Chain A
Amino acid sequence: MKKLSLFIMLLLVSLAANASSILIKGADIYSANGLLPKSNIYIENGIITTIGRSTPMSADMEIDGSGMSITAGLFNASTHIGTVEVSAISPTVDFYSENEEVTAALRISDAFNPRSTLIPHNRVHGLTHALLVPESGTNLFSGQVGLVQLGNQPKVIHNSLAMALDFTEYGVELSGSSRAAALVQLRQALDDAKDFSRNRKAAMAGEHRDYVLSYADLAALEPVVNGDKPLLVKTHRASDITTILALAKDFQLQLILSGAIEGWMVADEIAKAGIPVIMDPIHNLPNSYESLGARLDNAKLLADAGITLLFTGMGGSDTHNAYLVKQSAGNAVANGLSKSAAIAAMTSNPAEVFGATVSGDIAVNQTADLVLWGGDPLELTSEAQLVLINGEVIPMESRSFQLRDRYFKRLKKD
């Protein structure tokens, strides 16, 4: 029965592009206010106009959503989507710089390719938004974080939401191979950025002291040291998190943590500082000496402490299969996190923390940015049946589907 409705659904999706109104009946709706079981949702010209039992009873496209569920579109909070095609083919890899002169100034969204094959592949499985977080190439500063929307016309919504910094063992290795040395460099850079901010004119005219970083990098750091733009720090070890919290306090920075594999060990400190955390709940291996405390209930423990979570994942598939953030979220729930917290961590939380143009919620008077799932939203057997991004229905097309169809046809003939 489920399969039959699926076929009807796929047919409907092809018709949906022209539908000015869409009615989905009887689906479980996961909104930020909680679960609305077996509810109707009515979308007119891309806007959610009514939710509940009082929706109009007919529309250009009607879908029986019984047994299905609706969430806001998935939002992966740490990807390189659109800035890499094939990881091993270096000319397609744009998310880090090997040029020492370009660190903080690097804006990853400048490299975003809206025609990347990764975009259709991910959106047909429910990914609607992603953060682009650059990686470090030569020192601690990775560059500026972008936000992209993956709709029919994929686009950069914001090109500099935060400044990314790598204080993992990897970033430290690039910066003198000692945490202590890396901190000297970091403090120096922040002090220089402050000094540059105060003496910008003279500095640009060459009438001020020299800096280690380029003017472009210093200019990029200016809003960070002035507290206007968050510093997004990737770090894992509990003591490193503590160090970064102290540094952020000293310099009066806005801070967002990323990684935080040992975050649970210092959850109270993070919570007290009111710092959101981007993390992948799947990590439970002592894969390095900075992640000895890795455990599967990290997400639950951080959430219990009152920390706002933003999910990425799953594992190394966080870009080519960025939609698998859903699998990481499901595993977090299997290990103690509430389902609503898990869904919020890949929908409304990142939208809110980064001030996206979408709410990451299902609510009346909002542009529809949602996914209709074949069953429970986190189950891996619940396929995305219908995806709306920015009010538009996404065609269920991707290079992978084309390959599949070509070879299935051949196999059927054999």
Chain B
Amino acid sequence: MKENTRAVITVIGRDMVGILAEVSGKCAEANANVIEVTQSVLDGFFCMIMIIEISNINCQLEELKDEIGERVPEMTVHVMHENIFNSMHRI
């Protein structure tokens, strides 16, 4: 079976200028290809889910999370390997 090599980034918090730019900029630096982005803003509340390819990234997943967190300090950031979603929601 092919190894799953994607991760899911979620960013939630009050909307402001440049969130997407900061997060995707960091992904580019880490050599992570952005595969899919979905975002919504509801009543000033920003919610973004980004799926990235991590087979060639140049840092650990946890470092990526910490650095994204530093760039958007007011947001709640999660970076999680896709396996957790697959195992919880798929049989």
Whether chain B is bound by chain A comes out as no
| Chain B residues proximal to chain A, CB less than 8 Å | none
Interface residue ranges, A against B (CB under 8 Å): none
